[in-house]
Amino acid sequence: MLKVNDIHTFYGKIEALKGISIEVQEGEIVTLIGANGAGKSTTLKTISGQLAPLHGSIEFLGEAISGMPSHAVTAKHVIQVPEGRRIFPQMSVRENLDMGAFLRNDKEGIAEDLEKVLDLFPRLRERLAQKGGTLSGGEQQMLAIARGMMARPKLLMLDEPSMGLAPVIVDVIFETIKRLNEAGTTILLVEQNAAMALQVAHRGYVLETGSVVLQGGGTELLRNEQVRKTYLGEV
């Protein structure tokens, strides 16, 4: 479904991605794990069009999407839920969700999806009229994911969804990710919480300073000694 082939992305003169190649098949949860600065978020941003790769290609459903501006990538239903949630603080929860469906015209479909995401996160239903900026961190993350789902993603890319959240909420978020995937959404997940990510993922890539150093099945990586030492904090 998604084929990222040897992309090199720069921040000014700094080469943040030194030839990353990853693949996501339809129906999978694929995770990118790695330390701070390994290039996980940069990879997502390059796919979503916020950054343009200098070399390399990105293909989605057989179509080249590298170098497209982010609104054009969104139009392909490749949806990124950005790091730090980035909900619109002055807009109500309802308006935030409407923004998620910005490119859609099918009123009935939108109303249907609104019900779906509100069933998924009942807490948001209680807060529909509240300003996004007044929600708690966990609620904001729920809103960010719900907003992403409003675009009917073919590929949903989540950037650090557990960051800064209480463990109870992290469990809720990962439970949701699993459920969304079971309901048919393909997911590319970037996480620092490697243990949680590898438990839900079918496959994973380990990134280090802009390159893929290891890849494999989720449980396989979870058992890998190097991964255990470096990312799961075991001695």
Partner 1 sequence: MSVEFGIIGQQLVNGLTLGGMYALLALGYTLVYGILLMINFAHAEMFMFGAYVGLFTLQGLSRIEFFTSSGPALLLLYVLTFLIAMVVTGILGVIIERFAYRPLRHAPRLAPLISAIGVSLFLQNAALLWISSRSIPFPVLFEVRTFRIAGANISSMQILIIVTTILLMLVLDTFVSRTRLGRAMRATSQDRDAAGLMGVDINRVIALTFFIGPALGGAAGIFSGMYYGNIKYNMGFIPGIKSFTAAVIGGIGNLRGAMLGGFLLGLLESLAAAYISTGYKDVIAFAILIVVLIFKPGGLLGESVAEKV
Residue 223 as a binder of partner 1 (CB under 8 A): the answer is: no
Among 88, 94, 120, 209, binds partner 1 (CB under 8 A): 88
Among 6, 25, 64, 89, binds partner 1 (CB under 8 A): 89
Give whichever of 75 and 213 is closer to partner 1, judged by the CB atom: 75
Give whichever of 128 and 214 is closer to partner 1, judged by the CB atom: 128
Give whichever of 102 and 119 is closer to partner 1, judged by the CB atom: 102
- In angstroms, the CA 73 to CA 64 distance is 10
- In angstroms, the CA 130 to CA 66 distance is 37
Name the one range near partner 1 by CB under 8 A: 54-62, 74-82, 203-211, 224-232. Answer: 74-82
The CB density around residue 4, as the number of other CB atoms within 10 Å, is 24
Residue 70 as a binder of partner 1 (CB under 8 A): the answer is: yes
**CB distance 18 to 211 below 8 Å:** yes
Residue 133 as a binder of partner 1 (CB under 8 A): the answer is: yes
Give whichever of 108 and 225 is closer to partner 1, judged by the CB atom: 108
In the complex, the smallest distance separating the C-beta of residue 177 from partner 1, rounded to whole angstroms, is 18
In the complex, the smallest distance separating the C-beta of residue 57 from partner 1, rounded to whole angstroms, is 21
In the complex, the smallest distance separating the C-beta of residue 117 from partner 1, rounded to whole angstroms, is 15
Annotate 138-166 with DSSP letters as a single string. HHHHHHHHHHHHTT--SEEEEESTTTT--
In the complex, the smallest distance separating the C-beta of residue 221 from partner 1, rounded to whole angstroms, is 28
CA distances from 158 to 54, 107, 182, 187, 226 (A): 23, 26, 16, 7, 25
- In angstroms, the CA 138 to CA 130 distance is 15
- Length of the chain, please? 235
Among 90, 107, 108, 129, binds partner 1 (CB under 8 A): 90
Name the one range near partner 1 by CB under 8 A: 23-31, 45-53, 189-197, 221-229. Answer: 45-53
CA distances from 211 to 37, 94, 148, 207 (A): 11, 40, 28, 5
| Helix/strand/coil percentages in the chain, nearest 5 | 40, 30, 30
Q: In what order do the strands lie in the sheet with 55-60?
A: 14-24, 2-11, 55-60, 63-64
Residue 102 as a binder of partner 1 (CB under 8 A): the answer is: yes
**Which residues would be at the binding site for partner 1 (CB under 8 A)?**
48-50, 69-71, 74-75, 79-80, 82, 84-91, 95, 98-100, 102-103, 133, 147, 151, 164
